[in-house]
Chains A and B, each alone.
Chain A
């Protein structure tokens, strides 16, 4: 049997259906791979060897008993450490939650379990998903498997690194401003931010409630679609969940026909500040889609330039309130409880010790932005910008079916490069943030390697609310056209990691 870790999720499912491999074998192969390479990559914060093998065994048992199983039953997956899984340590990349074992499953985890998907462990991330590199994790930086000296993107760098290091065929990320798509772009993998409300936030440790969206990460478009279908859909536990059928994402991923599809290139997302190699690959991909029959036009979204500042008011405002619950009273870290300190002092000491610098920066920013006398100027104005951006999208979608742009202005940068310059770090998300503000669906698909550094470039597709299927349609078309050039998906061009064990 060829290396099981090189297979796609769809291929693994087929191997199990046809009896050529068991979930236990597949799971073990991935656990072995984690053991072999994660010392260098550091994609995982916690590997649940026992739990994963038990789940795999259960799925094999059901299959042997002839039970009807979900398409991805038995396929292993890496879970971003921001989603609760009952009894499994969940930290959100923060010291303040060290050692906390949630007493309940997030809805995403419930659905993964129901689909028989095997959860290998929890992946690294920037603390509370604040960051674009995983350098803000309290537990060390994840390394990009394409170049271990570089960051894998963030906040969900652990999830994307895990799949690009073949430690898992699938991963779950969460996207608040690009935390699925930017790591996807930086690691040559597929990252999809579903429509806000299309996937449940219940059990997702909130960064910014009005922006957070769980979604799939995979090495192929079809795998991402299969995972999307497994986790998406209405959840009565999440009031912002959309009570509509899940868009036909798998069908779209299987049939990447873009002839007649109207594609709008966003004028404002390109030019100055964009790496030439990124722009080159992006424009080639657009041309490719034109050749495949898509109608490409340029569209203007004039308010996108205000998206970043608006985002950095809305996000910290919501985050400052969401993170208030970490007060040392009920769970997690507790500092200074020596019998003489008041509850207030213990809360204060714990937050001082438990939160990292970026988290504190955003709490202070958000607290200020919501303060009386400043609210209208900051939070209020930012919400107006949000409305204007949503209108830009609505207007654009009158002309075209989807919008496209590079996923990021640059390729993956070196570890330590931007850690002291928050603004430079924030600019990573220029292209991805508008979709979060408007609640639209968006995704990043690999579209080649930049000439300057040989690193992956992401092709960003944005679609209207609950038209996630269009993302997959474009992604599948691009993937199959590019595969002819590359002889497979872009990941096949990634350098082999040294096996350290």
Chain B
């Protein structure tokens, strides 16, 4: 069922969007949050469980110190204060994929709070206030079987995999994000993308959105221009790519605007994002009356990180993203405009990785912002989901550098890579793309060009050597582009005696 939506411009003409983002990060600790079970992704169902994460009677949790360390690092990287003393709480509700029927989480005493970070959109820097980052455990994973939609509605039965139950999670919650309305969705995307880079740099998570190790819930509400009263918000779940974040936020803005402008009321509810159709649908109705009966977890003792430890961890933090961006721009010699394109194209990390493999900054930028960005755009994918990574880019560039390919042929190799035709070598072989380096073949083509263009030869002979360019073009055409232009020029010049 598709809801009525307004055009974004029409929506923003009347309403200001108000955003809040909750990002769940699965930590990459070797063991779970409260027990020693392994956390590896993709193991057969229910093989990574024990009495603790199955919630068996009598079992007790013990906090994973490494997870606390990661939480503190994340808090510090987001410029948060780190609690001197904080506790876990129980969030009580019944659900079959939650073994204890309460989630051990943090409630009013998060380990990190009052932080901020920055994102860059279209060259503008936006500050995003961080409310808190807190520790919690993941639930099991339910699979609903027998229904048409894979949702619980209409399913005949459900399967629960508790391998995920107890995986350490950090939930990062922003304060209300206030940016120019037209930028809201892009800022949301940039924020999640920035978080991914930050968490990757910290080394605390695999940050794979496709595997659910980075999950974003987007809270969206609208208020009429000039109003200070917040509208009713929806919480859109299951937004699993950067691009989806932007699309889901945009969709909710346009949907809510349609509801409001037709005199309706926005329901406070969770909504599900559908990647394929690009819409959200109504989930569970949620109200402030949801009562989780939080109370301090009596099975755990308070977490009280010493200030010395916090400072030790602070000293290990990688460079802040804005500082790093400035440093990289200088190192690479990019103009502000070039750097903005890199950031906007989400190409910073791939370019860094490509340069590390020995490619020049200019070449790395050329491929990532050219062929690859274009393809990502066309197919609606994130740049890092293309299946072509820094290693492939470096390999192709090496072939250009050693004269096997020219830029034009290289572009065709990328085309093959994106189509999944194999390695660069295989694609060159299959598509017959290598430059012809055999002089005799080139000389024959040169002879044909001279024979076919007596007027051009005339011009050259009459003292206009620049006219030879047309002959080079003809030779390249004859060779179907698979010739090194510099080599052709050299051979032609020799032939023409210039």
Contacts and interface: CB of A to CB of B under 8 A. Distances in A.
Given A324-B101, A371-B293, A209 B58 contact: no
Contacts of B62: 236-239
Given A103-B51, A209-B299, A371-B293, A325 B99 contact: yes
A239 B63 contact: yes
A90 B293 CA distance: 29
Contact of B94 (A100, A317, A324): A324
A240 interface: yes
Interface in B280-337: 291, 293-295, 298-301
A413 interface: no
Contact of A202 (B60, B92, B101): B60
A20 interface: no
B66 to A, nearest CB: 15
Given A84-B58, A97-B57, A370-B293, A324 B102 contact: yes
Interface string B76-119: 00000000000000101010100111100000000000000000
A167 interface: no
A104 B56 contact: yes
Contacts of A321: 90, 92, 102, 293, 295
B184 to A, nearest CB: 31
A446 to B, nearest CB: 31
Q: Chain B, interface size: which category?
A: 20 to 34
Interface stretch (A37-45, A63-71, A327-335): A327-335
A103 B60 CA distance: 15
Contact of A344 (B56, B58, B94, B99): B94
B416 interface: no
A330 B57 contact: no
A28 interface: no
A290 interface: no
A497 B62 CA distance: 46
Interface in A307-345: 317-318, 320-321, 324-327, 329-331, 343-344
B18 interface: no
Contacts of B158: 343
Contact of A370 (B63, B96, B295, B301): B295
Nearest to A380: B295
Given A321-B102, A324-B100, A347-B94, A206 B293 contact: no
A343 B92 contact: no
B51 A104 contact: yes
A210 B298 contact: yes
B99 A330 contact: yes
A81 to B, nearest CB: 11
A191 interface: no
B55 interface: yes
Interface residues of A, number: 44
Nearest to B299: A209
Contact of B298 (A202, A236, A318, A326): A318
A327 B57 contact: no
A370 to B, nearest CB: 4
A210 B160 CA distance: 31
A83 interface: yes
B37 interface: no
A275 interface: no
B451 interface: no
B58 A239 contact: no
Interface string A216-237: 0000000000000000000011
A92 B294 CA distance: 26
Nearest to A203: B58
Contact of B58 (A202, A240, A329): A202
Contact of A325 (B61, B100, B294): B100
Contacts of A202: 58-60
A321 B293 CA distance: 9
Contact of B301 (A239, A330, A347): A239
Contacts of A244: none
A103 B90 contact: no
A205 B59 CA distance: 8
A472 interface: no
Given A209-B298, A239-B63, A324-B102, A102 B94 contact: no
B56 A102 contact: yes
Interface string B329-365: 0000000000000000000000000000000000000
Interface string A359-372: 00000000100111
B54 interface: yes
Contacts of B293: 320-321, 367, 370-372, 375
Given A370-B92, A372-B293, A325 B57 contact: yes
Given A317-B295, A321-B295, A239 B61 contact: yes
A104 to B, nearest CB: 5
A473 interface: no
B92 A324 contact: yes
A372 B301 CA distance: 24
Contact of A83 (B58, B100, B160, B300): B58
Interface string A74-92: 0000000001100000101
Contact of A206 (B54, B58, B96): B58
Interface string A91-118: 0100001001011101000000000000
A347 B97 CA distance: 13
Contacts of A102: 51, 56-58
A97 B57 CA distance: 9
B59 A343 contact: no
A122 interface: no
Interface in B134-166: 158, 160
B309 to A, nearest CB: 18
A103 B94 CA distance: 24
A330 B54 contact: yes
Contacts of B55: 325, 330
Contact of B60 (A237, A326, A370): A237
Interface string A181-203: 00000000000000000000111
A327 B58 contact: no
Contacts of A331: 56-57
Nearest to A366: B293
Contacts of B102: 321, 324
Given A97-B57, A104-B56, A205-B57, A240 B299 contact: yes
A318 B60 CA distance: 14
A92 B56 CA distance: 13
Nearest to B91: A321
Contacts of B90: 321
A321 to B, nearest CB: 5
Interface in B245-296: 291, 293-295
Nearest to A370: B293
A379 B100 CA distance: 21
Contacts of A343: 96, 158
23 contacts: A90-B57, A102-B56, A102-B58, A103-B51, A104-B59, A205-B57, A209-B298, A238-B62, A239-B62, A240-B299, A240-B301, A318-B295, A320-B293, A324-B100, A329-B160, A330-B56, A331-B56, A347-B94, A370-B293, A371-B291, A371-B293, A375-B293, A379-B295
Closest 6 CB pairs of A and B: A324-B101, A370-B293, A209-B298, A210-B298, A203-B58, A205-B57
Given A240-B301, A324-B100, A344-B94, 13 more contacts: A90-B57, A103-B51, A104-B59, A202-B59, A205-B57, A208-B298, A209-B298, A236-B62, A317-B295, A321-B295, A330-B99, A347-B96, A379-B295
